[in-house]
Structure 1
Amino acid sequence: MWDILTRRGRRPRAVVAAAAALTLVVAGCSGDGGSKANGGDKAANSSITIFNGSTGTIVEQWNPFIPNFLQPTNGLIYEPLYYYNFASTADPQPLLATAYAWDAAGKVLTITTRDGVTWSDGQPFSAKDVAYTFELIRKTPAINATGLKLVSSVAKDDKTAVLTFEKPSFTDEASVIGNTPIVAQHVWEKITDPTKSINPNPVGTGPYKLKTFSAQSYVMEKNATYWQQGKPKIQNVRYIALATADAASAALTAGQVDWMSSFLPGLDQLIKNQKNLTYVNTPALTTSIFTCASADLGCKGPQTDTAVRQAIYWALNRDQLNKLAGGGFAETASPTMLLPERDKAWIADPANLTTPGGPDVAKANQLLDVAGWAKGGDGIRAKGGEKLSLTIQTVTGWSDYISLNDAMTQQLKEIGIELKPTQVAWQEWNNNQVQGKFQLSLDSIGLGASTNPYSTYLKYSSTTTAKVGEAAGLSGNYARYKNAKVDAAVAVAAGTNDETVQKQQYTVIQQEIVKDLPYIPIYVNSMLTEFSTANATGWPTNDNKYALPATWKQWDNGIVLSTIEPAK
């Protein structure tokens, strides 16, 4: 239920470190789960090592309903009914289900489950497990992360599960079939509190199962009874922790890691003479300035003025920001918060397809002049005794975002805005956004459970926010944005599966948010993933993005590890 293609799933921002600085927390990478196969049958002895951002001590958690679950939980151990590939516009791929259908009102969803699937403990899988999973979610609000309004969940027979919702739920389709881990009834009905169990002996239908665990590393081994015959082909997958994220590049070039997703400055030069190393870039998250926008909901500061937000939008030199902070790997964003290339069909006005690359300082100054913000002797504007000074928060150690703030400070000074960057611990940064206790915050807009814009635009609905000091909703309208036209359009889009109607409503939303800019887009941040072909081949490529390849991406991680093969 938890979508980690969001700010909560951000990848480590490693900087280049010398090989001598490499300090693996795990002692060596050999044996069952090390990078090198020790002779014998290739498949039987095959293994790879993954660094997915863990530093220091690893805390065991295999509960797929708890936000801090270990990343192999969803994808390797547990599977959804269907798989959505964010790297393409292809239809969802059937996994534990083979068909589904809504009734005309969009309140009843009938799911047909796959034959021949067994749980990793040998017990048969059926529609009863599907019905049980959603009933567990219905009865336990704390694990209902996407707020599904379920009335009931029943199994008509071993192949048919029927979900009934309180209201039309067409737009919840992807969350239901593509973003819900299906669990075994015979296991979970014995768990007293699903909100607290770490699920130490996980039983799933996925391609791998837990072999060993320690606070420094853990090993997943092939599920010999996996329903997709012949998959996976890699026997053991070891996940390691590094002493620091700075050691990531050294681990990669030293051959200690086969798969990782890290922002590595100078990546092309780093791997230039490494014949086994390659990478793919799959930008998907729009790096943005989150603003606490609504004075009516308790936001305070110049950023509550729409003209100020508009001026910031036009003053940014995004080409320069990409060069200085994005390593040249970032791609152009859209003020609609959709992806210009992938989502072009959903963007109504061609003028809003992309953000400007360079700044329009004259336009930014004009906006502030008209709004009454006058420059003082120090070059900083003021209005009614209030200085146009804004604090922007980011997380300590997020090096590319820190670089963004440094560069934006200089760019905004040109139009009379004082930007004051501050670095805080992740927990404080997160709490500030959830509670609305910030002026500006550097973050990224994540993607929803499918490529339909609904889940992105739900972040603009006042139904998913709250007054400053209260926690915003699960869908995260952290900007405290409130617009009656947007609220009405989101509600209409939620109640239909007619894409023509949805596009009409998204047009309204786009017109309003491009004007109001509660989230100010910078660029589509790079999503760099590095691979070694020394021990495995068949990784995603720029020409064949059969999955979003980030190591931390739930569901996709299972697709990738089911596809790769031992190197010959």
Structure 2
Amino acid sequence: MKQRVSRTLRKAAAAVAVLASVVSMSACGANSATSNGNIVSVFPGTTGTINENFNPFSPTALAPTLGVIYETLYWYNLASESDPTPMLATDYEWNEDGSELVITTREGVTWQDGEPFSARDVAFTFNLIHDTPALNASGSACTAEVIDDNHVRLVFPTDTDDGEPFTGAYMQEGGILAGQAIVPEHLWKDIADPVSYTNSDPVGTGAFKLSKFTSQSYMLEAYDGYWNGAPKIDGVRYITLNDASAATSALLAGEVDWMSAYIANLDVFLESNKDIDYANTPRLTTVIMTCSNADMGCAGPQTDPAVRQAIYYAMDRDQLNRLAGGGYGEVASPTLLMSDRDGQWITDKDLVSAPQDANVEKAAEILDEAGWVMGDDGVREKDGEKLTMTIQTVAGWSDYILINDTLKQQLAKVGIELETTQTSWNEWNNNETTGNYQLSLDSIGLGVTDDPYYTYSPRLYSENTTEVGVTSSGQNYARYVNAEVDEAIENAAGTDDKEERKAYYAIVQERLIEDLPTSPSTSIR
């Protein structure tokens, strides 16, 4: 039995569009010829100091770690349903009851240090994850057995916690085939702490390898022994800049070939610069992430579901998209799914899209009923606590800064005081992973398949979060815990019947619109 799956990349930056591991604005024919050869210069949206981290298990690994240096078994197109492209694997097959998955690995692949790649590296990677729970962000439960140099068997436990019959581990397929980079056994077997390891000398199977690193830029050089043929360029240089304005200037000056950055009045800009082009792939939903759970250590008015609901209805998303997105976004869904690609999984037509216009009356009514009383200064309060919250974004992300500034004005109409703050990317990311924030402007990317399990399990399942102050290796940065959602996600993972899974996802979606741990703030980006 084979399943069709899709691959995901975590958002590298706030962008007009995101495309693979480099992004949308490009200067045609602007590759830089240097003493190192033909080099493509990339601004991935990073501002401030670059922290060296090429650990493919880390949620804060630098952008090219996955896909460019380290590779997965398969690659899947995020933009549409399509057949998988074999990478380090060429075939896979489930046994009859879905308890074992046999993977055929590609022959003739070498690691970037010249050592041969084999099925033993695949087995080592998944056994390392199994034996190191902090690395297991995908929830994979398998152990691995080497059959021979080109075949590995992944074995899944068949005992179920609730005593129900085992129905197969098919829902783990996407994370295994598309979501996990493979690491070399001969190097990683000697690493004492793979969780905190920053991997300053990464060795993958990808088309490019690290050649130089500084806190302001780093260089990847082509790996001539790449299994799919030598790259057509000699290298890629990743740089950090102060903000989107600096990125635009660098693009115009020919110092950047590809970049992810907000450009105001994009149509006018392109008309004046004929050698620059862009691609718009609206596959990220901009959201207000909330530290939502007081029981997990979150503090502030946003731990009240009524406050989160009021924010949801008080936003004028049409205005936000026109101001910050230039009108290039698509309508987002509160289900966190892509309504055009994933509409089949959205069972309630009222949840296909978030409200585009503000409903100030409904937001005010929600707050009134929850006991938040309007003060003389225009800010509500309850039990002596002001309805004041801080929202963070990254310094230099011009569009997100504009969103926050506009939100401040919009939410003030219902008595919510919003304080905006800008930080370095490193601090912003650390605040989310440790839960040291109230509100954070971020984006939700696609899961490793179009099945909602791969969107919901990482971000909403309680085992993928930690208490505030502890770094979370999962993506549930909202510290969201809901037993009903947990049960629905677990049940969805336990069946390969699409209609049954759809019913379980309907439960998740119902709870999402009530609890709103993450709230779409603008259209899909």
1:149 aligns to 2:141 (yes or no) = yes
Shift of 1:279: 0.4
> For structure 1, which segment, 122-131 or 248-257, has the greater mean C-alpha deviation from structure 2 after superposition?
122-131
> Does structure 1 residue 6 correspond to structure 2 residue 10?
yes
Matched, 1:171 2:163: no
| 2:525 is the alignment partner of 1:522 | no
Q: Which amino acid aligns with 1:158?
A: D
What is the alpha-carbon distance in structure 1 between the residues aligned to residue 466 and residue 47 of structure 2? 34
CA distance in 1, matches of 2:79, 2:170: 22
State the partner residue of 1:74: 66
For 1:241, give the aligned amino acid. Answer: I
Determine the C-alpha separation between the residues in 1 that align with 2:351 and 2:136. 35
Determine the C-alpha separation between the residues in 1 that align with 2:186 and 2:254.
42
Question: Does residue 182 of structure 1 match 2:173?
Answer: no
Q: Distance in 2 between matches of 1:519 and 1:56?
A: 26
Superimposed CA distance per residue, residues 225-247 of structure 1 (whole angstroms, 9 cap, x where no aligned partner): 33335x53x13123042553442
Aligned-partner residue type, residue 160 of structure 1? H
Could you give the per-residue CA deviations for residues 385-415 of structure 1, whole angstroms, max 9, x where no partner exists? 4443333333344332222222112112222
Matched-pair contact (CA < 8 Å) for 2:335–2:512: yes
- The aligned amino acid for 1:30 is A
- Say whether 1:49 aligns with 2:49: no
Corresponding pairs, count: 495
8 A contact 2:395–2:423 mirrored in 1 = yes
* Contact in 1 for aligned 2:47/2:396 (Cα 8 Å): no
- Deviations, residues 356-385 of structure 1 (Å, cap 9, x unaligned): 111122222232333343433333333444
1:31 positional shift: 2.7
Paired residue for 2:465? 465
Which one-letter code corresponds to 2:154 in the other structure? L
Alignment of 1:253-402 (within 5 A): 253-402=252-401
Change (3 A) 1:185 1:480: closer
Aligned partner of 1:110 in structure 2 is: 102
Question: Cα–Cα, structure 1 residues 409 and 48, in superposed 2: closer, same or farther, change >3 Å?
Answer: closer
CA contact (8 A) 2:135 2:473 kept: no
Shift of 1:100: 1.5
**How far, CA to CA, are the matches of 2:192 and 2:517 in structure 1?**
42
Q: Which runs of 5+ in 1 are unaligned?
A: 14-27, 35-45, 527-568
Larger deviation: 51-60 or 335-344? 51-60
Contact 2:14 / 2:397 at 8 angstroms: preserved in 1? no
Residue aligning to 1:564: none
1:101 aligns with 2:93: yes
What residue is the counterpart of 1:162 in the other structure? 153
Find the aligned partners of 1:99 and 1:60 in 2 and give their Cα distance: 34
8 Å Cα contact 1:333-1:339 kept in structure 2: yes
Q: How far apart, CA to CA, are the structure 1 residues paired with 2:115 and 2:265?
A: 50
With over 3 angstroms needed to count, the CA separation of the structure-2 counterparts of 1:346 and 1:430, relative to structure 1, is same
Shift of residue 309, structure 1, vs aligned partner: 2.1
Contact 2:42/2:239, CA 8 A, preserved across alignment: no
Distance 2:281 2:518 in 1: 22
- Paired AA for residue 154 in structure 1: E
TM-score if structure 2 supplies the norm length? 0.83
Post-superposition offset of 1:348: 0.9
**2:454 maps to 1:450:** no
Q: What SS is found at the alignment partner of 1:272?
A: helix
**Counterpart of 1:410?**
409
Contact 1:126–1:159 under 8 Å retained in 2 = yes
Contact in 1 for aligned 2:39/2:237 (Cα 8 Å): no
Please report how far the alpha carbon of residue 107 of structure 1 lies from its aligned counterpart in structure 2 after TM superposition: 3.5
Secondary structure at the counterpart of residue 155 of structure 1? strand
CA–CA distance in 1 between the matches of 2:294 and 2:200? Answer: 46
Partners of 2:456 and 2:360 in 1: CA distance: 29
Q: Following the alignment from structure 1 to structure 2, what is the Cα–Cα distance between the partners of residues 132 and 417? A: 51
Q: Which residue of 2 aligns with 1:244?
A: 242
2:14–2:399 Cα contact (<8 Å) kept: no
CA distance in structure 2 between the partners assigned to 1:253 and 1:472 by the alignment: 39
User: CA contact under 8 A between 1:129 and 1:182: conserved in structure 2?
Assistant: yes
Taking a change above 3 Å as real, the CA distance of residues 125 and 252 of structure 1, as seen in their structure-2 partners, is same
Contact 1:134–1:153 under 8 Å retained in 2: yes
Give the letter aligned to residue 236 of structure 2: R
Decide whether aligned partners of structure 1 residues 148 and 473 sit closer, same or farther in structure 2, where only a CA change above 3 A counts: farther
Compared with structure 1, are the counterparts of its residues 61 and 380 closer, same or farther at alpha carbon in structure 2 (3 Å cutoff)?
closer
Deviation at 1:171, TM superposition (A): 2.6
Superposed, 1:469-508 pairs within 5 Å as: 469-471=468-470, 473-508=472-507
Mapping of 1:225-240 within 5 angstroms? 225-229=225-229, 232=231, 234-240=232-238
Q: Is the 8 A contact 1:6 1:444 kept in 2?
A: no
Give the drift of 1:173. Answer: 1.8
Return the alpha-carbon distance in structure 1 between the equivalents of residues 520 and 486 of structure 2. Answer: 21
Query: For 1:92-115, what per-residue CA distance to the aligned partner results, in whole angstroms no more than 9, with x for missing partners?
Result: 221111221233554322111123
Structure 2 match to 1:536: none
- DSSP 3-state at the match of 2:470: coil
Question: Which whole-Å CA distance do the structure 2 matches of 1:56 and 1:371 have between them?
Answer: 41
Distance 2:461 2:477 in 1: 10
Q: Is the 8 A contact 1:219 1:236 kept in 2?
A: no
Q: Which deviates further from its counterpart, 155-164 or 218-227? A: 218-227
Render the CA deviation track for 1:474-498: whole Å, top value 9, x for unaligned. 3333333332321210111122233
What's the offset of the Cα at 1:338? 0.9
Aligned residue in 1 for 2:164: none
Note if contact 1:33-1:238 (Cα within 8 Å) is conserved in structure 2: no
Report the Cα offset of residue 81 of structure 1. Answer: 0.5
Matched residue, 1:31? 34
Deviation, structure 1 residue 302 = 3.4
CA change 1:379–1:85 in 2 (3 A) is same
CA–CA distance in structure 1, aligned partners of residues 251 and 438 of structure 2: 38
Structure 2: distance between partners of 1:260 and 1:128: 37
Q: Distance in 2 between matches of 1:221 and 1:29?
A: 14
Q: Distance in 1 between matches of 2:385 and 2:215?
A: 51
**SS of 1:30's equivalent?**
strand
1:50·1:237 contact (CA, 8 Å) conserved in 2?
Answer: no
Shift of 1:503: 1.0
Matches of 1:397 and 1:54, distance apart in 2: 9
Instruction: Quote how far apart the aligned CAs of 1:504 are.
Output: 1.1
Q: Judge conservation of contact 1:306–1:517 (CA < 8 Å) in 2.
A: yes
Question: Which residue of the partner structure matches residue 38 of structure 1?
Answer: none
Q: 1:47–1:68: structure 2 CA closer, same or farther, 3 Å change rule?
A: same
1:100–1:4 CA distance, 2 compared to 1 (3 A): closer
Partners in 1 of 2:236 and 2:431 — Cα distance?
A: 35
**Aligned residues of 2:331 and 2:353 also touching (Cα < 8 A):** yes
- Quick check: 212-221 or 363-372, which moved more? 212-221
Corresponding position of 1:131: 123
Cα distance change of structure 1 residues 481 and 134 upon mapping to structure 2, 3 Å threshold: closer
Find the aligned partners of 1:224 and 1:427 in 2 and give their Cα distance.
Answer: 33
3-state SS of 1:293 partner: coil
Partners of 1:261 and 1:113 lie apart in 2 by 34
Could you tell me how far 1:214 is from its partner in structure 2? 6.0
Q: Is the 8 A contact 2:14 2:400 kept in 1?
A: no
Tell me by how many angstroms 1:63 deviates: 4.1
After TM superposition, the score normalised by the length of structure 1 is 0.77
Distance 2:85 2:211 in 1: 28
